[in-house]
Amino acid sequence: MSDTDWSGWLDLVESQLHAGEDQRSRMLLGQIRDRVLHKAGLRRGDILVDLGCGRGLVALEAARIVGPEGRVIGVDLSEGALDRAKAEARRRGLENLEFIRSDIRALPLDDGTADAVTGRSVFAYVADRKTALAEAYRVLKPGGRVSLFEPVLREESYQMDWGEAEAAWRRMRLVLESVHPAYGFGLGQLKEVLESVGFTDLETFVWHADTSRMYATLEEARQDLGELLPGELAPSEAWRKAGISEEEVAMVTERLWRESARPGFRNSIPCVYAWGRKPL
């Protein structure tokens, strides 16, 4: 089991989204959720398994769509996130929703359980995503649908001049691309893995999320760069283990902080929607 504290990280994201300034991100999350559900072709009465459900962003809405004659099963490793999802399900009076604490690489579900499987921002962070997607395939009924949304951090792009920090930045990116599950995960790989485990009729759509922001403080830039992901997945952890010096990280961070205030500064992350089906 991973000891990455996704629950605390999701709390942080939630508090930022509810800080009032981030209406845009909240709306975007809703749009992503709705598109994932739409591409899953969800209908009343369906059984849906939402993998890496977190606090239930997708699962809670899915429960409303499938209605009382359907069922939604959210699966996640994080107890804290599942507690939040369960509390929200109770608050909404949803009784067709259950949450299971499990690793998505070994699902405690029978073969052919589900009409559809979804995942939002989950598989990018799982190192052996082929095992996890093979499990998704196994628990689907023949003809069942899969619908995913994943960030492609490897293709993250910064439109800025790194100046004297350029060489250090290149080394830091190289470290991430070679050791980090999410930063090593390139565009096109999701479709390849889905194909390799047996899914057919696959389609993908790439959307570039504009994640540009002007950092008010050096600390904000440091957090965004080095602590973008929780626990062992934090880029700063990878840099530390690879022997990148604190001075190099500090130089890169300071450059990012200063450049983020310039007109024309842009930071974006491609995100891929992928959907398909298990053959009949």
Which residues of the chain form contacts with ligand SAM (CB under 6 A)? Answer: 2, 6, 52-55, 57-58, 76-78, 81, 103-105, 120-122, 125-126
Q: Return the bridge partners of 158, or none.
A: 267
| Least Cβ distance, residue 69 to ligand SAM (angstroms) | 24
| Least Cβ distance, residue 36 to ligand SAM (angstroms) | 8
Neighbours of 103 (CB within 10 A): 17
d(Cα 142, Cα 136) in Å, to the nearest integer?
12
Nearer to ligand SAM, 14 or 166 (CB): 14
Q: Return the bridge partners of 269, or none.
A: 209
Residues 6 or more apart whose CB falls under 8 angstroms from that of 255 comprise 160, 162, 163, 164, 165, 169
Return the residue nearest ligand SAM (CB atom).
54
Cα angle: 17, vertex 22, 28; to 5 degrees: 85
| Least Cβ distance, residue 80 to ligand SAM (angstroms) | 9
| Least Cβ distance, residue 212 to ligand SAM (angstroms) | 20
Question: Minimal CA–CA distance to 269: which of 121, 117, 118?
Answer: 121
Nearer to ligand SAM, 9 or 257 (CB): 9
| Least Cβ distance, residue 17 to ligand SAM (angstroms) | 11
Q: Return the bridge partners of 73, or none.
A: 49, 98
Nearer to ligand SAM, 105 or 173 (CB): 105
Tell me whether residue 41 is exposed, middle or buried, using C-beta atoms within 10 angstroms of its C-beta: 0 to 12, 13 to 18, 19 or more.
middle
| Least Cβ distance, residue 127 to ligand SAM (angstroms) | 9
Nearer to ligand SAM, 66 or 81 (CB): 81
Nearer to ligand SAM, 125 or 215 (CB): 125
d(Cα 216, Cα 60) in Å, to the nearest integer?
35
Nearer to ligand SAM, 3 or 164 (CB): 3
Report CA-CA distances (Å) from 173 to 17, 170, 246, 247. Answer: 28, 5, 15, 16
| Least Cβ distance, residue 124 to ligand SAM (angstroms) | 8
Nearer to ligand SAM, 33 or 278 (CB): 33
3-state secondary structure of 200: strand
Residue 254 in tokens: 């300071």
